[in-house]
Amino acid sequence: MKNVRPSMRAAMAMVTIALLFASCKGNAEQKPNQEETTQPQDTPAELIKAPEQIISLEQAEAIYNNYSAHRVPLIENYETKRRAPQENFEVARFVDFDLAVLKQYIAYVEQEAQSAGVEKVTNMRIYFANYPNEQLFSDGKAVVHPRQNSLFLVPTLEKGGEHYAFYIGDDGKPALIIDRTTNGNNGMGSLFKNNGKSHASLVPSLSLNTNLYRGTSLTLNRSGSGPPPHSDF
């Protein structure tokens, strides 16, 4: 290096500095920014608590057996004598709805209720029902289980401290099913007294005002059902 001219030394020093600068810059570009590499952590889904109304399998079996002992024989005897003495009538023991249908139904009810201005759907009321001894309903659809018991669901809203089943009227507003009757004192969702006893009224023995019942029904029935059953209990 002693024989190298000062000008050459200066040039070599500049080249060295330039190479070091380029190397440092390249390393900086290759090293990812810590903030950029930090991936957002997926928030764990909140666990759904079991409803307080969940019962044990032992309790379910007990009340199922109560129905077997105190209701099934009465229905079997009644139906056999009423319609077909030569047949053994198997009593329906359950109704099942497709889970996807139930989810769709609840979403549909909430959608229609919100559109109609219902502040809150308070309950999903389940009514006992019985299919006719016919092959077809009035709309032409098949009666899959003639004479068998069934269920249907209808949503309720709160009015004056009471819960009333409702549908959507022609005007797009919620209408109480109780108002289908010519006398609004009794009807679906109400209690009336007969001989001093309270009874839940579905359709009272009053003529229906059909002019009040136009619009959109929110009542669900016609399950994918299985009665007569091969039950789980």
| Sign of the dihedral through C-alpha 104, 221, 51, 176 | positive
Distance CA 130, CA 89 (A): 14
pLDDT on residue 18: 54
193 and 121 within one domain? yes
Q: How many CB atoms lie within 10 A of CB 27?
A: 9
Output the pLDDT for position 232. 83
Nearest-angstrom CA–CA distance, 174 and 159: 11
Residue 6 is assigned to a structural domain of this protein: no
Is residue 87 located within the same domain as residue 117? Answer: no
Residue 36 lies in a domain: no
Residues 102 and 187 in one domain: yes
Q: CA–CA separation, 166 vs 117, rounded Å?
A: 12
Residue 108's pLDDT is: 97
Distances (CA, A) of 154 to 51, 169, 190: 21, 15, 14
What is the structure's pLDDT at 121?
97
103 and 193 share one domain = yes
Same domain, 81 and 136: no
Judge if 141 and 165 occupy the same domain. Answer: yes
What's the longest Cα–Cα distance across the chain? 128
Specify the pLDDT at position 198: 41
Q: Are residues 112 and 66 in the same domain?
A: no
Q: Which residues of the chain have pLDDT under 50?
A: 182-213
Range of the domain at 76: 58-91
The pLDDT score that the predictor gives to residue 191 is: 37
Give the end of a domain, one of 91, 109, 140.
Answer: 91
Judgement on whether residues 64 and 159 belong to the same structural domain of the protein: no
Is the pTM here over 0.85, yes or no?
no
* Residue 27: predicted pLDDT: 54
What is the total count of domains within the chain?
A: 2
